[in-house]
Chain A
Amino acid sequence: MLFIRRNSPIKAIVFSSISRRLSSEARSAAKEQQEIEEKKVKQQKYQELEKLQFRPLYLDAQATTPMDPRVLDQMLPYMTHLYGNPHSRTHAFGWESEKAIETAREKVAKLINADPKEIVFTSGATESNNIAVKGVARFYKDKKKHVITTQTEHKCVLDSMRVLESEGFKVTYLPVKKNGLIDLKELESILTPDTSLCSVMMVNNEIGVRQPIKEIGKLCRSKKVFFHTDAAQSVGKIPINVNEMNVDLLSISGHKIYGPKGIGALYIRRRPRVRLDPIQTGGGQERNIRSGTVPTPLVVGLGAACEIAQQELTNDATRVTQLSKRLIDGITKRCTNVILNGDPESRYSGCVNLSFAYVEGESLLMALKDIALSSGSACTSASLEPSYVLRAIGADEDLAHSSIRFGIGRFTTEAEIDYTIEKTAEHVKRLREMSPLWEMFQEGVDLKSIKWSQH
């Protein structure tokens, strides 16, 4: 007895140190395993690409859009003969590039009814959002230490807010109602004299709801709070007037409006003046707000895209609305228990987010291989977690898992919509026939009343 007792603590120590070593070994092994898995998945993806017989049809206009040939046509001269640095003051190469970027600036400004001097070129909406959110909050940090945003914002705004939180700012993440819109009364109640910035996106990238920007702008102006809106999904698709809407900062992305990738713009109001701390410092280009040589071809492309968007706005809008109606009607006619996520009225019609009850969204996406679709934003499409936007609007876990986003754009055709309806209905039916949940639902069992046993 004594012998064992004396021995036991030693044994325990030995065991624990082994287990600790084992666990760290196991951890690194698991990490390695995961890396191998990831590599395998990637290779599978590439192999599939080679086997591709036909190009899938594209229905993911919220992720990105194909470049309009008219945009490329204006860009190409600046990618060949006209290569000057727009900031060169001493020769013709610089002057012609500078002239081109100033013309592009005018075109961007005109689309949102701003002054060209209020437009700053950036690398995209993510950078614009970062500059706006961090820049304004940091500039006014001595006087005001509170910023407001919504829970359904894009990741880059939410992440910038997290950074601000770590710097000691107080951040309020405003919840949204069931339809995805914010409650104006609630917003009013949290606007304090300590608030420096309120950031609300114009059109949501996942569910396509349109926030009441004009009302929010008015409210923020009356409380002397700067109002930033992420308009990456809405510029060129819905009419925007920064003065009517009382917007102080507005982010624009090039590749969502049939322009090139890697370019965006930020509108910064001059009267009343909005001041901000730059994130990137250097040569002092773009009024010291965004240093770095302005990429002439991309800027020319953004300008062209804005000009065309303005010309084609009504035509695009009627066309997209028509196709979106065709898609929703077609799918709801062929399948039951389909839910349109987000407000049915206040929305941009080109973004249709549907939940197919009792169908696993990931399986449906796999089945619809010949249609380029996504279950949510491209940034988070790698993870199997249900989208935080859908959870914020109070969608049930199962419905959040069964959602698919259909993105309709300028180049979508009727035949593509019909094909999508046909294929979606076919696969939803097939997947539901395999699902035990669907069977139970058909028999009239209330699935919410079931207590699933834990294994």
Chain B
Amino acid sequence: MASTQRSVLILYKQLLHECHKFSLYNYREYFLRRVREEFHQNRNIQDASKIAELLKFGQENLGVIRRQVTIENLYAPQQKSIIENQQHSSISSR
């Protein structure tokens, strides 16, 4: 049991770490939120087979996010989202 708990925790951290790398603000925010929600929602599951299934789903998604972060960053535009520069923009628009 302790080992699965550990692997769940590792997966969670890996997912969050990868999601932070999205250069597009909206993707980053969305996937961070979804990862947190999903783990929070399933935190009380005891059934070992269900946990294994969810772990597999998470691992697959980790792979997807890793690949997509790489691709997405290859084509990232120079400008960032206005939200990320909110304070800066409110000065320049005056």
Contact = CB atoms under 8 A, between A and B. Distances in A.
A48 to B, nearest CB: 13
A69 B65 contact: yes
A370 B90 CA distance: 11
Contacts of B24: 66
Chain B binding surface SS class? helix
B68 A72 contact: yes
A52 B79 CA distance: 8
A416 interface: yes
A169 interface: no
B29 A413 contact: yes
A56 interface: yes
A72 B72 CA distance: 10
A55 B68 contact: no
Contacts of A441: none
Counting contact residues on chain A (CB < 8 A from B), the size range is: 20 to 34
Contact of B34 (A54, A55, A315): A315
Counting contact residues on chain B (CB < 8 A from A), the size range is: 20 to 34
Chain A binding surface SS class? mixed
B86 interface: yes
Interface string A26-60: 00000000000000000000000000111111100
Interface string A44-86: 0000000011111110000000100110110010000000000
Given A410-B30, A411-B30, A412-B26, A419 B68 contact: no
Interface string B62-81: 00110110011000010111
Nearest to B63: A73
Contact of A370 (B30, B64, B65, B89): B89
B79 to A, nearest CB: 5
A72 B68 CA distance: 8
Given A69-B72, A70-B64, A411 B27 contact: yes
B3 interface: no
A413 B64 contact: no
B92 interface: yes
A410 B27 CA distance: 10
B83 A416 contact: yes
Nearest to B93: A370
A66 to B, nearest CB: 7
A415 B87 CA distance: 13
For B22, B29, B82, the residue with the greatest tally of chain A CB atoms inside 10 Å of its CB is B82
Contacts of A70: 61, 64, 68
Interface string B24-62: 111101110010010000000000000000000000010
Contact of B82 (A56, A66, A73, A410): A56
A29 B89 CA distance: 43
B5 interface: no
A267 to B, nearest CB: 28
A411 B89 contact: no
B83 A57 contact: yes
Interface string A292-323: 00000000000000000000000100000000
Interface string A166-203: 00000000000000000000000000000000000000
Contact of B68 (A52, A69, A412, A416): A69
A415 B33 CA distance: 13
B72 A54 contact: no
Contacts of A416: 83
A329 to B, nearest CB: 20
A415 B86 CA distance: 10
Contacts of B22: 69
Contacts of A410: 30
Contacts of A411: 26-27, 29-30
Nearest to B85: A54
B83 A415 contact: yes
Nearest to A413: B29
Q: Which 8 A-B residue pairings sit nearest by Cβ, starting from the closest?
A: A69-B68, A411-B26, A54-B82, A73-B64, A370-B82, A413-B29, A55-B79, A411-B30
24 contacts: A52-B79, A54-B79, A54-B80, A54-B81, A54-B85, A54-B89, A55-B79, A55-B80, A58-B26, A66-B26, A69-B65, A69-B68, A70-B61, A70-B64, A72-B68, A72-B71, A73-B64, A73-B68, A76-B71, A315-B34, A411-B26, A413-B26, A413-B30, A419-B83
Given A55-B79, A70-B68, A413-B26, 9 more contacts: A53-B79, A53-B89, A54-B89, A56-B82, A58-B26, A69-B22, A72-B71, A413-B29, A415-B83
